[in-house]
């Protein structure tokens, strides 16, 4: 049985019945890719309200987890708290192809949780708003040396004259 499966036999076909639950899910695989992700072995904290309605089981609540990644400006490690509200209906019968179903008196929250977490991961995480990033020429962190500068590059049209200067110096 998956970590994401919740039994709902006590709520089935009993409209108006409700149950609240608080649980933690340990991830067996990484969520997300790119600069931000929730690591394998990470934990998702769920606070849910399961309500029986005529059409199925309505799940609402919030999830919290921590994502890790790299700052898109300076490449330092970054930890990002993720907090997402979820709301989903698990239907008793399939009416639309995209419906989630109650199967064997259980609901599987995996797709709901994965979608919620991955869609809320920052595309370009940053360590702080004032992060200056890296120097594009040498890679030094600009926050460590804000006055960092390089000589202005010589216009390539004048590069042949630079050779004459080197010959004269020799």
Beta-strand ranges (E) seen in 2-76 are: 5-7, 18-26, 36-37, 43-53, 56-70
Task: Tell me the pLDDT tens digit for each residue of 11-32.
Answer: 888 888 899 999 999 998 898 8
Could you report the per-residue pLDDT of 113-156, keeping only the tens digit for each? 999 999 999 989 999 998 889 888 888 888 888 788 888 777 77
Residue 95 falls within a domain, yes or no? Answer: yes
Determine how many CB atoms are found less than 10 A away from the CB of residue 58: 17
Answer yes or no: do 160 and 82 share one domain: no
pTM of the model: 0.74
Determine the longest span between alpha carbons in the chain, in angstroms. Answer: 95
The verdict on 18 and 101 lying in the same domain is yes
- In the chain, the number of structural domains is 2
pLDDT mean over 58-86: 94
Residue 49 belongs to a domain: yes
Asked if residue 51 belongs to a domain, the reply is yes
> Do 138 and 62 lie in a common domain?
no
Average pLDDT estimate for 66-85? 93
> What residue has token string 């200067």?
165
Q: Which pairs count as long-range contacts for 94-103, CB under 8 Å and 24+ apart, including other chains?
A: 101/56, 102/8, 102/12, 102/56, 102/57
**Per the domain annotation, does 125 fall within a domain?**
no
The yes-or-no verdict on residue 56 having pLDDT over 60 is yes
Host domain of residue 166 = 132-170
Examine residue 112 and state whether it is found in any structural domain, yes or no. yes
Greater confidence (134 vs 97) lies with 134
Query: Measuring CA to CA, which residue among 52, 59, 44, 55 is closest to residue 16?
Result: 52
pLDDT at residue 166 tops 80:
no
């Amino acid at each position: 049985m998956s970590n994401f499966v919740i039994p709902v036999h006590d709520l089935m076909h009993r409209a108006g019945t409700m149950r609240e639950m608080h649980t933690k899910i340990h991830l067996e695989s990484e969520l997300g890719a790119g600069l931000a992700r929730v690591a394998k072995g990470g934990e998702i904290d769920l606070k849910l309200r399961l309500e029986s309605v005529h059409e199925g089981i309505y799940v609402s609540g919030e999830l919290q987890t921590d994502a890790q990644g790299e700052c898109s400006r300076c490449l330092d490690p970054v930890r990002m708290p993720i907090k997402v509200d979820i709301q989903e209906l698990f239907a008793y019968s399939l009416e639309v192809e995209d419906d989630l179903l109650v199967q064997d008196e259980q609901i599987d929250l995996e797709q709901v949780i994965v979608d919620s977490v991955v869609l809320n991961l920052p595309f370009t995480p940053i360590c702080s708003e004032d992060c200056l990033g890296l120097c594009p020429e040498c890679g030094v962190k600009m926050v460590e040396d804000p006055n960092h500068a390089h000589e202005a590059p010589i216009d390539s049209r004048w590069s042949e004259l630079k050779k004459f200067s080197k010959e004269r110096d020799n």
